[in-house]
Structure 1
Amino acid sequence: MKIAESWLREWVSPKLDTEALGHQLTMLGHEVDRIAYEGQGLDGVVVAEVLEVGKHPDADRLSVCKVTAGGETVDVVCGAPNVVKGMKSPLAVPGVKLPNGIKLRKSKIRGVVSNGMLCSATELGLGEESDGIISLPADAPVGEPLANYLDLPDAVFELNLTPNRGDCFSVLGIARDVAALTGAPLADTNVKPVKATIKDTHPVEVLEPAGCPIFAGRVIRGIDPAARSPLWMVERLRRAGLRSIHPVVDITNYVMLELGQPLHAYDLGLVKGPIRPRLARTGEKVTLLDEKGVVVNDDTLVISDDSGVIGLAGLMGGLSTAVSDSTTDVFFEAAYWPADYMAGRARSYGLHTDASLRFERGVDPAGQGRAVERATELLIAISGGDAGPLVVETEDAHVPLRQAIELRKSRLAHLLGTTVPDDEVVDILNRLQLSAKKKKGAWSVSPPSHRFDIAIEADVIEEVARLYGYDKIPEITATAETPIETVTESTVDYEKLVSSLIARDYQEVVTYSFVEETLDAKVSGRESKLKLSNPISSEMSVMRSSLWIGMLEAAAKNIARQQDRVRLFEIGKTFH
């Protein structure tokens, strides 16, 4: 997972530089594979406007553009297919050395002088792929340094998270751990509720309560279809490895990355009747957002309406209700899909989505309403519209509860090999938002809803060790008694036997345990009962009852190749 340092520091900002923060993340168990620094070496790259675009006289695939960066208008030869009149894009002038090592100079390209270069994301080190030059928003100030406009430089942490820490597949999850380790204050995690301005709701009928114990939804009407995602959101998504698609889709992705709760947005005008989370029926089909049609397995949770299946729950939405540039009414959905219902489902369809990754590892069962509130807040700020009331359907009998865990002082000391002071243990638990009540020789520890990975005493001890510091735990060399075994002459040591045979010019062979049925019967004198139901070939159809079969075949093959001296032995198992 990728997290921009600037985004993380909005939630928690310890007094550590980038490298030190990366080291502390690794010590917390969130291994930092790489720290990518973006925006370095952009001196001299500015926001420019393309005033005119004409064809190159001697090259079909090149354009000659008249470009201004706030001063005089210059000619720039450009080979990007997406360059158009009126667009704004980064301009690197002659003399600038780009992050990829190229130093620009004024030069002739097919007879036309080019006074710089309009840049793509890859050329500026702001992406690994691009389909043309960067297109900046229309309100980008011409002449402003690109680094200032994009709020660069910034560092991006690439984290290798362990599967048990599903709560850390978000900026909030990582921020919680950093705050617990460093003591830096954590930003307020509460989301201010958005007041409903209309009474519209959409009916939801949960037909599989065990598979969907919590379903939060909200109707938003009258959004501006011409609205575009703001630059700060587009940039944060890009640094996290996601591209901007549409304001509604961008908001669902943004909230997922920020809070860890995947969401889905429907074009409300395309939904037919009530939304029904349920198990699929045999033979049902759906066309997904990637335009691929699938036949749904009957063990898969789906979202349906009167028209049939409109999405695979927790995996991917359906194309029939997808938002588009003409969407004006939206229905936000955030559900709790238990990991037991999600495990392996994405792989069975050849899918791997950001949503399935989180649901398979687990999400906070208390975060659905908060995610919809946050998405509503962002959508209204970006695209306008009127929000209906937040509706949360809950089946309490199927909502997981965190049970209290007894943490014994003796067990803590035994597993860590050191004694952690009582007050420090309590402080660590409190920083991790684990409620601890003192008992005789122990604590009763209650994990919060987002720490679904903590279920037994050893889990709590691991948390204490993480924050106490592995480097503070002393190394103790393990010792054990190694009594001398009784020597007997009644058995021959395997290694001695092999060495003796090799010394007498025998060669050890390893033959297949599967042999041909008639050969096995000839050697053993009886028909084998250990027949393979799906043999590789008829020559490997039964389990061998003797080592002679393979050795005889090996000897025969050697003799057939003019080996007149064949001495073989094999030590292995036979099957009866």
Structure 2
Amino acid sequence: MKIAVKTINKYLKKPLSTEKMIELIGRTEIEVEEVLYAKQLDAKIILAKITDVFPHPDADRLRLVDIEYGVKKHERVVCGAPNVAVGQRVAWVQPGSILPDGTEIKRAEIRGQLSAGMLASAKELHLSDDHSGILELEEDTHPLGTSLCDIVFLSDVLDVKTPANRWDYLGGEGIAREISAYSQITQFAQPERTQYVYQNTDVAKVKAREENRRFMSARLHVDNDVKTPAWLVDNLLANGFVPHNPVVDITNYVMLETGQPSHAYDARKLHGPLAVRFAKSGEKLTTLDDVERTLSDQDLVVCDDSGPIGLAGVIGGASTQIDVDTTEIVLEAAHWDKTLVRRSAIRHGVRTEASARFERNLPLPLQPHAFARLLDLLVQICDAEIIDGPYDQLYAWPWRRFLGVRLRRAEKYLGMKLDEPAMLKGLRKLGFDVRHFSLSAELKSHLGKPYKWGANFRQDGETAFDCSYLVDRLYSKIGVSVGHTALGQLHHGRPVEVSELKPGDVVFYEGKIEKSQTDHYYRTMPDGTKEKVVLNEPKSVGHNGVYIGNGLV
């Protein structure tokens, strides 16, 4: 994966040099495979403004372009770009300038007309792969004649290899957080986000809930006929993305930032509500790359009443794409099954930035994290107004996992003495919510809370408990799963004598509770499914509690 140094630096309070960043990355699980150092532009490539455009007398596809590059400083250039227009601020490559590929530009005669250099595209300046027209620079305070070296800040790019299980390395935020944990000179700086209230309404018809466990959406009015801010364009260009229009640029930027892909549909081009289903074998979809694809019944698609409008997790459809005339969008961020995404990408021969990320099995909490950022940037840049939503259709529980680490055991593994305050500080810098765990303090924090038969985390959080849920919750805080029923907890543990009880052990009381099973129980697997466990012989558990020492439960 390639990521620009400037993108990582955006999430550090104090920017780092490329060399320092590489040094710190060497302490992480990230492997830097190559460093692509930016080539500085020739200082003679300068900012100019187009003042007039005329047809070329002897070439239909060429035009004569008058430019101004300072007070009473004018030149004429022959240009074949389709997007050339009066008023544009452009990159003028003067005669005698050298392009990044080594080509020297001279004053030349083109079809009988003298051209004083050229107007450059982003690709010719090695800013991106966009060669569709000349590079148009945003209106700013730089005077005409300013060297592009002082306007366009090129960035070194790191080509990194990341572990398959580290989805958080797929965005600038994650890499910056990791670097900051090993640095004494900078800290992680995460952008603030608005806390949005989401409606849990099935506004999109999700028919494949196992494969699409979260679908977030909102309908917004936007002004897309504005300029994407220079800071955002610079970051896209530095990472090899071609800027398109503000809405699309924002979705690409948030993917670079968080690792979560998203998609925006032109609401006026939709036919009915969004839906998620498997394609019908033989259905057609023309994707954003203008390729008509024949779908398989193994392809998961986003569709409306007209049919498929996107290959889920891989690439969007051309029929609903955003353009400068778009005034209303439906924004979507979803959790797609990693295996389905990978198989569809291979089947259709189109591996995208989005599919590469979904293949890492992005976690369920990432979608709202990215969605809030998307909404904030759309409001900030496109003056967006939420018309409907936002909606959060959640079909799986995003369990929060706890880990318990015994300091002495960690010292044994590492062969060195550890300082607990230093450990806590380091783990917090890595983004962990960490604290010293005290059994008695944890139990005391729940004194006085009501007893509720059948209490569980989804419905009650930590506001009410029954006996087995209190035990389950307590042990989950140190990363140990003991099950959510008293019978399951009895079966999970190993017996000890009363005289050998230690604080934290669980005491069980024999008895029969009405409607409680005695020969089997269900345990929750890591993927959220339930597995039935049948006992060799029935056992009756009426109650349990946690031993806290001194003969007290």
Contact kept, 8 Å, 2:64 with 2:77, in 1: the verdict is yes
Counterpart mapping for 1:155-170 below 5 A: 155-170=156-171
Match of 1:175 in 2: 176
Q: 2:136: which partner in 1? A: 135
- The secondary structure found in structure 2 opposite 1:304 is strand
- How far, CA to CA, are the matches of 1:93 and 1:21 in structure 2? 36
**Take 2:120 and 2:397, find their aligned partners in 1: how far apart are those partners?**
51
After superposition, the C-alpha distances for 1:36-70 in whole angstroms (9 at most, x for unaligned) are: 34462442322112333456678887655432101
Cα distance per residue 1:460-492 (max 9 Å; x no partner): xxxxxxxxxxxxxxxxxxxxxxxxxxxxxxxxx
Cα distance between partner residues in 2 of 1:60 and 1:272: 40
Alignment-mate amino acid for residue 208 of structure 1: A
Cα distance in structure 2, aligned partners of 1:349 and 1:279:
15
Residue in structure 2 matched with residue 254 of structure 1 by the alignment? 253
1:323 maps to 322
2:550 corresponding residue in structure 1: none
Q: Are 2:423 and 1:421 aligned?
A: no
**Structure 2 residue identity aligned to 1:148:** D
The offset of 1:181, in angstroms, is 1.7
How do 1:137-536 residues align onto structure 2 when only pairs under 5 Å count? 137=138, 141-150=143-152, 152-183=153-184, 184-193=186-195, 203-221=203-221, 223-388=222-387, 390-395=389-394, 398-407=396-405, 418-419=415-416, 421-423=418-420, 424-436=422-434
Shift of 1:240: 1.1
Deviation at 1:261, TM superposition (A): 1.3
1:84 Cα deviation after fit = 3.3
Q: Distance in 1 between matches of 2:111 and 2:265?
A: 50
Is 1:39–1:126's contact at 8 Å kept on the other side of the alignment? no
Alignment of 1:66-145 (within 5 A): 66-82=66-82, 84-86=84-86, 87-94=88-95, 96-102=97-103, 114-127=115-128, 130-137=131-138, 141-145=143-147
Quote the offset at 1:387 in angstroms: 1.1
For the 8 Å contact 2:78–2:110, the answer to whether it is kept is no
Conservation of the 8 A alpha-carbon contact between 1:37 and 1:153? no
Change in Cα spacing, 1:306 to 1:19, as seen in structure 2 (3 Å) is same
Give the Cα separation in 1 of the matches to 2:321 and 2:56.
41
Secondary structure, counterpart of 1:248 in structure 2 = helix
User: Once the two structures are superposed, what CA deviation does each residue of 1:85-143 show, in whole Å capped at 9, x if it has no partner?
Assistant: 52331123355555444556666678765544433334434345634532324667533
For the Cα contact (< 8 Å) 1:76–1:117, is it kept in 2?
Answer: no
Task: Give the whole-Å Cα distance in 1 for the aligned partners of 2:325 and 2:79.
Answer: 32
Contact persistence 1:204–1:274 (CA under 8 A): yes
Q: Is the 8 A contact 1:22 1:32 kept in 2?
A: yes
SS of the residue corresponding to residue 121 of structure 1 reads coil
Q: Closer, same or farther in 2 for the Cα pair 1:34/1:54, shift >3 Å?
A: farther
Post-superposition offset of 1:360 = 0.8
3-state SS in 2 of match to 1:182: coil
Retained in 2: the 8 A contact 1:218–1:331?
yes
What CA distance in whole angstroms lies between the structure 2 residues aligned with 1:202 and 1:213? 12
Contact 1:289/1:318, CA 8 A, preserved across alignment:
yes
Separation in structure 1 between the aligned mates of residue 240 and residue 158 of structure 2, nearest angstrom: 11
1:359 deviation in Å? 0.8
2:6–2:235 contact (8 Å) kept in structure 1: no
Q: Name the CA distance, whole Å, in 2 between partners of 1:130 and 1:391.
A: 37
Q: Which residue of 2 aligns with 1:51?
A: 51
State the partner residue of 1:499: none
Moved more, 378-387 or 91-100: 91-100
SS class of match (2:49): strand
Contact 2:41 2:149 survives alignment (8 Å): no
Letter of the 1:192 partner, please give it.
T
Q: CA deviation at 1:203?
A: 2.0
1:330 aligned counterpart, secondary structure: strand
Structure 1 vs Structure 2: percent identity of aligned residues?
32
Counterpart amino acid of residue 125 in structure 2? L
Matched residue of 2:265: which SS? strand
Q: How many Å apart are 1:25 and its aligned residue?
A: 1.9
The 3 A distance-change label for structure 1 pair 15 and 247 is: closer
Match of 1:19 in 2: 19
| Count of paired positions | 435
- In structure 1, stretches of 5+ residues that fail to align are 441-456, 458-576
Q: Give 1:282 deviation, angstroms.
A: 4.2
| CA 1:16–1:249: 2 relative to 1, 3 Å | closer
Letter in 1 for 2:131: S
- Aligned-partner residue type, residue 20 of structure 1: K
**3-state SS, counterpart of residue 207 of structure 2:** coil
TM superposition shift of 1:262? 0.9
1:218 to partner: Cα distance: 0.8
User: Using the alignment, how far apart are the partners of 2:389 and 2:282 within structure 1?
Assistant: 34
SS at match of 1:143: coil
SS at match of 2:121: coil
> Which range moves more in the overlay, 359-368 or 423-432?
423-432
SS at match of 1:294: strand
* Equivalent residues of 2:34, 2:158 under 8 A apart: yes
Any conservation in 2 of the 1:369–1:390 contact (CA below 8 Å)?
A: no
Hey, what's the Cα distance between the residues in 2 that align with 1:16 and 1:249? 29
- Give the Cα–Cα distance (whole angstroms) in 2 for the partners of residues 292 and 300 of structure 1: 16
Give the CA deviation at 1:426.
Answer: 4.1
Which amino acid is 1:191 matched to?
R
Ranges in structure 2 where 5+ consecutive residues have no aligned partner: 439-477, 479-553
* CA–CA distance in structure 1, aligned partners of residues 107 and 63 of structure 2: 16
Distance in 2 between residues matched to 1:426 and 1:181, nearest whole Å: 14
Q: Which moved more, 1:406-415 or 1:313-322?
A: 406-415
Asked whether the 8 Å contact 1:214–1:392 carries over to 2, the reply is no
Letter in 1 for 2:190: D
Alpha-carbon separation, structure 2, partners of 1:155 and 1:240:
10
Q: Per-residue deviation at 1:312?
A: 2.0
Q: CA separation of 1:195/1:68 partners in 2, compared to 1, >3 Å: closer, same or farther?
A: farther
Amino acid in the other structure paired with 1:3? I
1:4 aligns with 2:4: yes
Aligned to 1:475: none
Provide closer, same or farther for how the CA distance between residues 123 and 323 of structure 1 changes in structure 2, counting only shifts above 3 A. Answer: closer
CA distance in 2, matches of 1:174, 1:297: 37
**Deviation per residue, 1:340-382 (Å, 9 max, x gap):** 4434331122220111111110223112223223222222333
Deviation at 1:432, TM superposition (A): 1.9
